[in-house]
Copies of this chain bind each other. A is one copy, B any other.
Amino acid sequence: MTPPLVSRRAVLVGGAGLAGLGIGAATVGLTREPDVAPGSGTLPFYGARQSGITTPPTAHAQYIGLDLVDPADVPTLQGVLNLWTQDAARLTQAQPSLSDTEPELATLAGNLTATVGVGDRIFRAPALTRLRPSWLQPLPSFSIDRLDPRWGQTDLLLSLASDDPVVLAHATRMLTASVRRSVRVRWVQRGFRNSPGMTTGTMRNLFGQVDGTVQPASDTYDNLLWDDGAEQSWMADGTSLVLRRISMNMDTWEAIDRRGRELSMGRTLDTGAPLTGTDEFDDPVFSATRGGIPVIPASSHIARAHRRHDREQFLRRAYNYDDPPEPGSADTSNSGLLFAAYQRNPVTQYVPVQQRLADHDDLNTWTTPIGSAVYAMLPGATESRPLGASLFDAAGRGSGGAPQK
């Protein structure tokens, strides 16, 4: 029946995650011991699969959407990916980038990851047309969407994450300034969780809810997360990302009482346990009733989001955002969630769940999707094969394209 669900953190913390978290027999003192402070480690850049997807979420993330100046210019795309590979391989290891202009800001990595994806438009280039994954297309239009093109689809996604905001600012600068002649930054979406070492467990969003409890078990990643190359061989070990910017209306949320909030979610606010349980990771019992009334309303978020098939699972890696209200607006907040869902195929895994939530989800009263984009997240890079190598190989270009001038 339903495979057991575990928290992603519980999975990650089991093994290699320890090194990534920089946690060992660490004693914090006043002397400089940056290698032992929570969040001060490094994560690998090279590997069959990109870091920043199943590696532990860091405190800060920055999603940068960029458009190619000429989306049909495949050599330039290749040059950008070569440059990003060269520089991210260094910055993630706490080394200055090749032409680093502020090398003093590169002495820490704070578990920096740089994860790169491509949007559907790059596949309009004749050399790439036949290489587009069939699922790499705009999501269907959902009735709840109020999409602002300002947060819409771009040609490239550079997703940076670090436990340190100075590291993130520096990496952003190095990786965007070096390619400024080839791409234009269309948007930057900045998110955060708690600072390193502050708390453990599943994050909370700005509604106060535990957010991200239900995750696929790590032993399903080879099936549900990582592409196996069956449709597009170049995508093997890649994945897809659906990035949704979800505005959360603090005013109206705060106007309802605690019980109303918990019923809309189907979970308690304090522990995040389903209303039929006592622990966050208890399986919800949707059939349970009290006085003939379902304990977890059928219209609640978890009842609606709960998968109908094993296929309807994806890895969630959300961050809070809390930007200043737009100048001149009467809004009292500009807060929400950068909802990131990773899965092998968004059409079969993500869309059915999102469609169900769009049809009805009590939480829709207070949440509004205002941005949406889908990316093919590239397979990992190695020292001899930069990001995108398998794509350019498949296009007959080889992976040795000259770096951008």
| A contacts, CB < 8 Å to B | 13, 18, 23, 25-32, 34, 36-40, 59-60, 101-105, 108, 110, 150, 163-167, 169-170, 172-173, 176-177, 180, 185, 187-188, 190, 192-201, 204, 206-208, 250-251, 253-254, 269-270, 320, 322, 324-325, 327, 332-333, 335
Cα distance A198–B60 when bound, in Å?
14
B206–A105 touching, CB < 8 Å: yes
Min CB–CB distance A173 → chain B (angstroms): 6
B250–A177 touching, CB < 8 Å: yes
How many copies of this chain sit in the oligomeric assembly? 2
CB contacts (< 8 Å) of A39 on chain B: these are 195, 197-198
A169–B200 touching, CB < 8 Å: no
A23–B30 touching, CB < 8 Å: yes
Min CB–CB distance A97 → chain B (angstroms): 12
Closest 8 CB pairs of A and B: A37-B197, A102-B208, A188-B324, A165-B192, A101-B254, A169-B322, A26-B28, A104-B208
CB contacts (< 8 Å) of A195 on chain B: these are 39, 59, 110, 163-165, 195-196
Q: List 7 A-B contacts (CB under 8 A).
A: A30-B200, A37-B38, A37-B198, A103-B208, A108-B194, A185-B332, A188-B324
CB contacts (< 8 Å) of A188 on chain B: these are 324-325
B204–A104 touching, CB < 8 Å: yes
Q: A99: nearest residue on chain B (CB-CB)?
A: B254
CB contacts (< 8 Å) of A164 on chain B: these are 194-195, 198
Cα distance A269–B254 when bound, in Å?
48
A170–B104 touching, CB < 8 Å: no
B333–A173 touching, CB < 8 Å: yes
B38–A335 touching, CB < 8 Å: no
On whether A324 and B104 interact (CB within 8 A), knowing A30-B23, A195-B163, the answer reads no
A198–B34 touching, CB < 8 Å: yes
Cα distance A26–B31 when bound, in Å?
13
B198–A40 touching, CB < 8 Å: yes
CB contacts (< 8 Å) of A176 on chain B: these are 332
Q: A13-B30, A32-B199 are in contact. List 18 more A-B contacts (CB 8 A).
A: A26-B28, A32-B200, A32-B201, A37-B38, A38-B38, A101-B208, A102-B206, A110-B198, A164-B195, A165-B193, A165-B322, A166-B194, A166-B204, A166-B206, A166-B320, A185-B332, A195-B195, A195-B196
Min CB–CB distance A367 → chain B (angstroms): 15
A197–B38 touching, CB < 8 Å: yes
Min CB–CB distance A273 → chain B (angstroms): 13
Cα distance A108–B197 when bound, in Å?
12
Question: Which of A102, A187, A188 has its CB near the most chain B CB atoms (within 10 A)?
Answer: A102
A177–B322 touching, CB < 8 Å: no
